[in-house]
Amino acid sequence: MTARLRPRCAACDRALPKGRYRLCVAGCGARLCRTPRIPRCTDLHAGHCPHFEPLEAS
């Protein structure tokens, strides 16, 4: 019997508990942890996400 590895956060590389993560809002499929650290992993990942498109200032 082999052990299954837990998914890891795409920004901070922490092990993610089953079902306790967020997916990237840009749609790349990256799993991100929900820890209350500053800066949040969702913000850190946005700079590296291949699907992220920043809003243009008007």
User: What residues contact 26, with CB distance under 8 A and at least 6 apart?
Assistant: 46, 49, 51, 52, 53
Q: What is the pLDDT of residues 19-49, one digit of tens each?
A: 889 999 888 999 999 888 888 888 888 888 8
Does residue 16 have a pLDDT over 70?
yes
Global pTM?
A: 0.73
Residue 57 pLDDT = 64
